[in-house]
Amino acid sequence: MRAVQVQEYGGPEVLRTVETEVPEPGPGQVSVDVAYTGVNFADLKARGEGYRVPSLPFVPGLEVSGRVRALGEGVSGVEVGQEVAALTAGGAYADVVVTDATTVFPLPSGVDLRTAATLPTVLPTAYALVHAVGRLQPGETVLVQGAAGGIGTAVGQLAKAAGASGVFGVVSGAAKAKYALDHGYDDVFVVPSTTDSVQFVDEVRAATGGRGVDLALDPVGGETFRASLASLAVFGRLVSFGNASSAEPWRVGQPELYPTGLSVSGFSILTLAQTAPGALRALTEKAFTAVAEGVVSLPVTAEFPLEEASEAHRLMGGRTSTGKLLLRVA
Ligand SMILES: NC(=O)c1ccc[n+]([C@@H]2O[C@H](COP(=O)([O-])OP(=O)(O)OC[C@H]3O[C@@H](n4cnc5c(N)ncnc54)[C@H](OP(=O)(O)O)[C@@H]3O)[C@@H](O)[C@H]2O)c1
C-alpha cells in the first residue's frame, strides 16, 4: 500500500510516498481502508519538529474517513465494510490505517465520507473548548485565535449556537478575517504574523466596552498566550490548546490569577484519547450530533491527492489556508 512517510524532520519536501506493508489490527484495534485524510496543524509540527512522534521514520496523520477493513480481537459494535470516521494516533497519510476501536465512529447521519474526514480531530476539540473545558454560558463573550482555521471555523459556530453574545477572532490576514466573519464571528482582529500580538488586547477591550472577554481560546502560546490572558474579563477563563509559535511552555501563578479571579486550563484530544477514551467518545458523539443537526459545518477549502500531501502542508504552513484541507486517498 501507499503511505506518505517522514524519514527526516524538515519542510514539506520531506514528505515522501513509499510502498509499505498493509498494517493488521491488534487486539482492540480496527483497520480502515482510507477514503480521505484530514490535514491538521499538528501534522506540520510532527513533520517539522517531531511533535508527538515516537521515532523516525513515521507516517503522519490523525484523522480519516473510510470503510472498516478488518477487526482485531475483542472488537464489537463495528462491522467490516461499515463507513466510519476515525481519530488515529498517527499513520493516517496512507491507504490503510490501524487505530483503537474506541476512536472509530459511525458517520453522523446525512454526512458523506468527504465531510466525515474533517470531523474526528476538529469537532470534538472545538466542542470541548466551548463546552466541557471552556464552559461557555449564554450571554458570555469569546476570543479565538486562528479564527479562520479548522478549529477556529468550528469554534465560531459552536460558540454562537451556545448563545455567546460576542464571538471575536484573531487572524493573520484580511482574507481570513472575511472568511471568519462568514462563519459565526461578530468581529475579527487582523494581527499580521510579523506584528506584536499584544496589539489585539486593546481591540478586544474596545470591542467589549473595556470589560474583556469571558473565555479566550489559545492555540499559539508564548506572547499570544500572555495577550489572551490580558484580554480576559474579571473571572475570565483561558484555555490553552496548542503551541503554534513553538514558544517555551507557559507558566502562570498567583500574580496573574489572583487580582481578577482568572482561570487557566488546557486540552489535548490526543492525550485524552489515551487517558480517558470513554470521555472522548462521549464528547465526540455530542460533537457529531451537532454536525448532524446542522449546528456546525466545516467547509473543505482545498483537496489534494495523497501523493501531494506536501502541497497541503505548504498551504497551511504559509498561513493562507482557511477551513479544512483534505487528502484524497481512495
Ligand atoms: N489541543 C488539541 O486537542 C488540539 C486539537 C486540534 C488542533 N489543535 C491546535 O489548534 C490549532 C489549529 O489547528 P488546525 O489543525 O485547525 O489548523 P488551522 O487552524 O487550520 O491552521 C493553522 C492555524 O494556526 C495559525 N497559526 C498561528 N501561528 C502559526 C504559525 N507560526 N504557523 C502557521 N500557522 C500559525 C494560523 O492562523 P493565522 O494565520 O490566522 O494566525 C492557522 O489558523 C493548532 O495550533 C493546533 O495545534 C489542538
Read off the pLDDT of residues 264-290 as tens digits, 9 standing for 90 and up.
999 999 999 999 999 999 999 999 999
For residue 28, the CA-to-ligand 1 centroid distance in Å is 31
Give the three-class secondary structure for 310.
helix
When the pLDDT of each residue in the chain is averaged and rounded to a whole number, the result is 96
Q: Ligand 1, residue 320: give the atom nearest the CA.
A: 39
Is residue 121's pLDDT more than 80?
A: yes
Superfamily name and number for 123-270: Medium-chain alcohol dehydrogenases, catalytic domain (3.90.180.10)
Is residue 194's pLDDT more than 80?
A: no
Entry pTM: 0.97
Establish whether residue 144 lines the binding site of ligand 1, counting it when its CB lies within 6 angstroms of any ligand atom.
no
Domains 2-119+299-328 and 123-270 share a fold: yes
Residue whose Cα lies nearest atom 8 of ligand 1: it is: 242
Q: Ligand 1, residue 323: give the atom nearest the CA.
A: 20
CA angle 84, 89, 95 (to 5 degrees): 55
- In what side-by-side order are the strands of the sheet with 187-190? 187-190, 166-171, 141-145, 213-218, 232-240, 263-266
Residues with Cβ < 8 Å from 14, sequence gap 6 or more?
Answer: 6, 7, 8, 47
Q: What mean pLDDT comes out for the span 92-105?
A: 98
Could you state, in order of their start, the residue ranges of all structural domains in the chain? 2-119+299-328, 123-270
Establish whether residue 269 lines the binding site of ligand 1, counting it when its CB lies within 6 angstroms of any ligand atom.
yes
Is domain 2-119+299-328 in CATH 3.40.50.1000, yes or no?
no
Establish whether residue 125 lines the binding site of ligand 1, counting it when its CB lies within 6 angstroms of any ligand atom.
yes
pLDDT at 326: 98
Distance CA 310, CA 328 (A): 13
Establish whether residue 44 lines the binding site of ligand 1, counting it when its CB lies within 6 angstroms of any ligand atom.
no
pLDDT band at residue 176 using 50, 70 and 90 as cut-offs: very high
Establish whether residue 244 lines the binding site of ligand 1, counting it when its CB lies within 6 angstroms of any ligand atom.
yes
Q: pLDDT tens digits, residue range 133-155? A: 999 999 999 999 999 999 999 99
**Cβ neighbours of 79 (radius 10 Å):** 12
Task: Report the b/e string of 150-160 with b at 16+ CB within 10 A.
Answer: bbbbbbbbbbb
Question: Which of 151, 193, 225, 270 for a ligand 1 pocket mutation test, highest count of atoms within 8 Å of Cβ?
Answer: 151
Pick the residue with more confidence: 195 or 85?
85
For residue 180, the CA-to-ligand 1 centroid distance in Å is 14
Is residue 308's pLDDT more than 80?
A: yes
pLDDT at 195: 77
Question: Which of 40, 41, 313 for a ligand 1 pocket mutation test, highest count of atoms within 8 Å of Cβ?
Answer: 41
Share of the chain above pLDDT 70, in %: 100
